[in-house]
A = this chain, B = another copy of it.
Amino acid sequence: MKTTKADVIQTAADIADKNGLSNVSLKAVAESLNIRTPSLYNHIDSLESLLREIAHNGMKTMNERMMQAAIGKIGDDAVKSVGITYLDYMIEHPGIYETIQWATWHGTEETGKIFDNYLSLLKTLALSCNFNPTNIDEILNLLTGVLHGYTTLQLRYALSRPDEVRAALSTALDTVLTGLHQKYDQHKKEHL
CA distance A176 to B150 in the complex (A): 13
How far apart are A140's CB and chain B's nearest CB, in angstroms?
A: 10
Supposing A168-B141, A183-B175 touch, asked if A150 and B152 sit within 8 A by C-beta, the answer is no
How far apart are A17's CB and chain B's nearest CB, in angstroms?
A: 13
- Judged by a CB distance under 8 angstroms, whether A121 is at the interface is no
Contact residues in B for A147 (Cβ distance below 8 Å): 149
Nearest-neighbor residue (CB-CB) of A177 within chain B: B179
5 A-B residue pairings within 8 Å (CB atoms) = A145-B146, A145-B152, A146-B176, A149-B150, A149-B152
The 8 Å CB contact of A172, one of B98, B145, B153, is B145
How far apart are A44's CB and chain B's nearest CB, in angstroms?
A: 18
The 8 Å CB contact of A179, one of B22, B141, B168, B180, is B180
CA distance A152 to B104 in the complex (A): 9
| A145 near B141: Cβ-Cβ < 8 Å | no
The 8 Å CB contact of A168, one of B98, B138, B152, is B138
- Judged by a CB distance under 8 angstroms, whether A178 is at the interface is yes
Contact residues in B for A101 (Cβ distance below 8 Å): 101
Supposing A152-B149, A178-B183, A182-B178 touch, asked if A172 and B105 sit within 8 A by C-beta, the answer is no
